[in-house]
Amino acid sequence: MKRRRFVQSIAAVPVLPAAAQQLAVTGPEAVAEGGQRFFSAEQYKALQALCDIVMPKNGTVPGALEAEVPAFLDFLISESDKERQALYRNGLDKLKGLPANADTLLAPLTQGWTYKAPADPLARFLREAKDDILRATLNSRPYAQAMSARSRSAAGMDAYWLPLD
């Protein structure tokens, strides 16, 4: 290490504790914990069913369940604002028992997209959830690995989210 770099690193040391106290950072142990934390067991099952419907596995391309999207969304929504948390909780409560009456409950997903958000809370939730499920799946490690195995041009992109270590 060059002397100049060493002096610069020593000069930055007193600033680090003060900066760490000002930042509200989620600890790595909170992210590393497995399992559900925010949603109830029934809500989590409904989220898993919705993920499987919105982004199912397609041959060698992983779906939302293989990309562990429900666990990611559980963490993401737990760190979101109260309005978004309420939107997800209320929406998932309405989707309990999803496979039995999926056609009627998921009808808003078949409507065309508009700039104006739907007035119906369930339709608004489904729109948000679909977008989140697609984004999380397409930016996951399993999806990136599957795409890089199919095409040399996609190899080495590393455009996926990872748990913090």
- DSSP symbols for the chain: --HHHHHHHHHHTTHHHHHHHHS----HHHHH--S-SSS-HHHHHHHHHHHHHHS--BTTB--TTTTTHHHHHHHHHHTS-HHHHHHHHHHHHHTTTTTTTHHHHTGGGGSPP-SSPPSSHHHHHHHHHHHHHHHHHHTSHHHHHHHHHH-GGGTT---S-----
In a domain, 128, yes or no: yes
Domain assignment of residue 57, yes or no = yes
Answer whether residue 70 is part of any domain. yes
Q: pLDDT: is 114 or 46 the higher one? A: 46
Q: Structure pTM?
A: 0.68
pLDDT reading at 1 higher than 60: no
**Using 50, 70 and 90 to split pLDDT, how confident is the model at 19?**
very low
Mean pLDDT rounded to a whole number for the chain: 77
**Domain count of the fold of the chain:** 1
Position 147 confidence tier, pLDDT thresholds 50, 70, 90: confident
Average pLDDT of 49-77? 92
Which range has the worst mean pLDDT, 21-25, 37-41, 77-81? 21-25
Q: Do the domain assignments include residue 145?
A: yes
Tokens 């809370």 locate to 121
